[in-house]
Amino acid sequence: MQIATTITQFLADEQSASQRQDRDLPVLLGQVITACKIISNAVNKGALSGVMGSLESENIQGETQKKLDVITNEIFTQTIERGGQLAGMASEEMDDVYQIPAQYPRGKYLLVFDPLDGSSNVDVNISVGTIFSVLRYQGNSAQPAAGEFLQPGTKQVAAGYALYGSSTMLVITTGNGVNGFTLDTNIGEFVLTHPGMTIPADTKEFAINASNQRFWEAPVQRYVTECVAGKTGPRGRDFNMRWVASMVAEVHRILIRGGIFMYPKDNKDPTKAGKLRLMYEANPMSFIVEQAGGLSSTGRQRILDVQPEGLHQRVPVILGSKNEVEVVLSYHAEH
Ligand code: P6P
């Protein structure tokens, strides 16, 4: 009987083929995967679970928190804190570093995550996701400071996302390509369905929140104007547009059929360098995109090279199909 490869088997095989001395990483990823299964169950209940809607509270980003933002954050911390592989955690939903409670063992990794990205879509039943990033802990304190997390994206040892869509999928990289798994609810396990995911180098599909058009910088204005001009313009071909307002859904679409996703620098709020957060949105997604043959840039710099200055730092994001991202970067260089 041909048994599908489960994510647990896949990660065990990858560990055996790796140079890693310890087996802590697949153990840690197994706990992250369990947390994503629990979140999938909570999200898929929808209104039946009584956890729709918003709280009175705001997160450090100044965004109204959904009940599920807080619940999914707790699912992550409670599922993963006792495993012994982590020195600390950081999340979109927590102002500061989450310290591992004193009664639990510590390990050599740092986990950074957005427990429910795109959560404003939950109440309207549009796909949302979880994004996670794993870094090595270089220090030796039992309570790592925020500064220990501020490593450039090139230092990530693993990154992935769960997409709670028409099916629940998990896409992950440990630096050896990108692989996608689909949750088989009959066995409660993710099985390998998308081995070796790669992003087509060309695309005719762009994703941007066009309501910000008047705030964009000139290179982005030029690029989008040319896409909209289609055959009648300098690109000589028609484009299509998508905007889901859920980064996980956009990136997944790009991994499957190509595309370019942009949340560029804009002057809507000059105090903000962009909307998306470097540590738990841009960096993990950029690691995945580059491992799949795509590019990911701020418009001026490779995102994975950005030296973080704060846990909740924002950056402009232009990522996706290599040849199309290079067009946008050429416009930035010319400007
Ligand atoms: P806007 C979700 O809040 C998020 O962080 C990303 O997932 C998404 O791409 C973006 O913000 C949507 O932003 O301004 O269109 O609501």
Atom of ligand 1 nearest to the CA of 245: 12
The residue type of 182 is: T
Helix ranges, 120-246 (H): 218-229
pLDDT tens column, 68-102? 899 999 999 999 999 999 999 999 999 999 999 99
> Looking at the DSSP assignment, which residues form a beta bridge with residue 171?
161, 180
| pTM for the predicted model, two decimal places | 0.96
Q: How many angstroms separate the CA atoms of 193 and 180, rounded? A: 6
What's the CA-to-centroid distance between 106 and ligand 1, angstroms?
34
Per-residue pLDDT at 86: 97
Q: Is 192 helix (H, G, I), strand (E, B) or coil?
A: strand
Burial class of residue 187 in the structure, from the number of CB atoms within 10 Å of its CB (0-12 exposed, 13-18 middle, 19+ buried): exposed
Q: What is the DSSP letter of 90?
A: E
Atom of ligand 1 nearest to the CA of 261: 9
Per-residue pLDDT at 285: 99
Per-residue pLDDT at 57: 78
What pairing do the DSSP bridges indicate for beta strands 205-207 and 240-242?
Answer: parallel
Q: Which CATH architecture has domain 7-194?
A: 2-Layer Sandwich (3.30)
What's the CA-to-centroid distance between 50 and ligand 1, angstroms?
24
Per-residue pLDDT at 55: 79
What's the CA-to-centroid distance between 317 and ligand 1, angstroms?
11
Burial class of residue 96 in the structure, from the number of CB atoms within 10 Å of its CB (0-12 exposed, 13-18 middle, 19+ buried): exposed
pLDDT tens column, 230-251? 999 999 999 999 999 999 999 9
Distance in Å from the first CA to the final CA of the chain: 60
Domain coordinates in residue numbering, the chain: 7-194, 205-334
- Report CA-CA distances (Å) from 158 to 110, 135, 155: 11, 7, 9
What's the CA-to-centroid distance between 319 and ligand 1, angstroms?
15
Per-residue pLDDT at 64: 74
Per-residue pLDDT at 137: 97
Per-residue pLDDT at 114: 98
CA-nearest residue for atom 15, ligand 1, is: 245
CA-nearest residue for atom 4, ligand 1, is: 118
pLDDT tens column, 9-39? 999 999 999 988 889 999 999 999 999 999 9
Whether the CB-CB separation of 208 and 243 falls below 8 Å is answered with yes
Question: Which residues, given as ranges, of the chain have pLDDT below 50?
Answer: none
Tell me the CATH number for domain 205-334: 3.40.190.80
Q: How many angstroms separate the CA atoms of 226 and 76, rounded? A: 43
Per-residue pLDDT at 49: 79
Per-residue pLDDT at 327: 98
Ligand 1 residue neighbourhood (C-beta within 6 Å) = 117-118, 120, 209, 245-247, 263, 275-276
Atom of ligand 1 nearest to the CA of 114: 5
Per-residue pLDDT at 62: 74
Per-residue pLDDT at 266: 87
